[in-house]
Every structure is written in C-alpha cells, then in structure tokens.
Amino acid sequence: MHHDHTKTTPTPRRLRGDSGGALVETAIVAPLLIILVLGMAEMGLAWRASTEVSDAVRQAALDASAPAGDRNADIYALENLGSIIDPDTIVSVIIYKAAGTGTDGGVPAGCSGAGTCNTYSSADVLRAVNGTISVNETSCAGDFDSNWCPLDRDVPDQVGVAVVVEHSYVTGIIPGSGILTIEDQSTFPVLKN
C-alpha cells in the first residue's frame, strides 16, 4: 500500500458576503482613474498649445520689427504665426505700435485708428502662409496694413503682436464649450535699417 505524503494547503474560505467585492471596488475606482488620466492629458495638450502660441508670438513680434521701413514686416510676422500655429485656430492678430517692450507694452485702447495698429484674421494669416498677399512696395494706401504702415515704422518705435487662438479640447473631459481661448502678446523695438 502506497501513501501519498504530499501536503496540500487548504484554500482559505471566503468570508460570507465578500464575493464580488474586488469587482465592485474596480468598478468604482477605474472610471475615476480614467477621468484623472484624460484630464491630465487634456491639460498637457492645452499647456503645449499655450507654449506654442507664446513662442510664435515672440517670433512674430521679432519678425514685425524688421528693419525700419521694411514694407513686408507684417507679412513676415503673419507667415511665421501661420507656420507655427494652425491658421484655422487663430481668431485675430493685432500688430500695433507699443508703448513698452516685452509683454508690458499691451495693445493700446481704441486700436482701430490710423497710425495705431493693424488687425488681421485667420484668413489673412492663411493668405500670408500661402504667399497670396500682394502689397504696393512704395505705399500702404488701400492695403491691408495701411492703419500702421510698415513703411512709417522707425527707431525708436516698439512693435507689438497680440494673438488670440482657440484651442479645441481633444478628450471632451473638460466641461464647458470644449474650447480654450489662448491670448498672448509680445513687443520688440523696430530694428535699425
């Protein structure tokens, strides 16, 4: 007669009422974790978009400060913006005569008069990117940039660029309209010719 001497460990018995507890806990925690991860991803994408806008605005302000009297200064700025930021997301671009440098020289009040600023739409940015804007090389009269003609800019003028961009949320996890409006501005002195 042969006896099996292998020892078997008894399986622990479940307590009464404990069946399915892990499934319930998972059902409660999993959606919260998913919401947390999607929210972090959404905020990361919004932060990246904001950083891109900030970088593009600084570069556009530098482009708009092209050497004094450069007729195409605004076109350079619009081209740069449209190459970094999707033109379809741009609500408006204002290129203006600023009072200060950096980000402290904000858009002047009543920025629609002659000699103050030029306002552009996403369509204007797209036209600049596509190279379909033509300007009179010797005068701004009647051109899209006639309110503050690049030919009239000179040292010590400060050129400002302000941009409004609408960033669409990707995941839909953020409540509201699903759009984040990003505004940024920067200024540079007009460069010597």
124 within some domain: yes
pLDDT score of 89 = 94
Helix (H, G, I), strand (E, B) or coil at 165: strand
Residue 9 located in a structural domain: no
Q: Give per-residue pLDDT as tens, 92-109.
A: 999 998 875 545 567 877
**Averaged over 155-169, what is the pLDDT?**
90
The whole-number pLDDT of residue 99 equals 73
Task: Flag whether 115 is in a domain.
Answer: yes
Residue 15 lies in a domain: no
| Neighbouring residues of 138: CB distance < 8 A, sequence distance ≥ 6 | 71, 151
In the block, residue with structure tokens 């994408």: 45
Does a structural domain hold residue 64? yes
pLDDT at position 70, please? 87
Residue 170: inside a domain: yes
Q: Is position 12 within any domain?
A: no
Asked whether the beta carbons of 184 and 89 are under 8 A apart, the reply is no
Amino acid identity for residue 156 in this structure: P
pLDDT value at position 174? 75
Total number of domains in the chain: 1
Host domain of residue 76: 21-189
pLDDT digits (tens, 9 = 90+) for 58-67: 999 999 988 8
Contacts with 13 (C-beta within 8 Å, 6 or more apart), sequence order: none
The fraction of the chain above a pLDDT of 70, given in percent, is: 85
Band the pLDDT of 4: cuts 50, 70, 90: low
pLDDT, position 2:
62
Q: CA angle, 168 as apex, 188 and 176 as ends, to 5°?
A: 115
The beta strand positions in the chain, using DSSP E, are: 90-98, 117-120, 158-168, 179-189
* Within-domain flag for 1: no
Phi, psi of 13 (to 5 degrees): -85, 140
Res. 178: pLDDT tops 60: yes
pLDDT band, very low/low/confident/very high, at 115 (cuts 50, 70, 90) = low
What mean pLDDT is reported for the chain?
A: 84
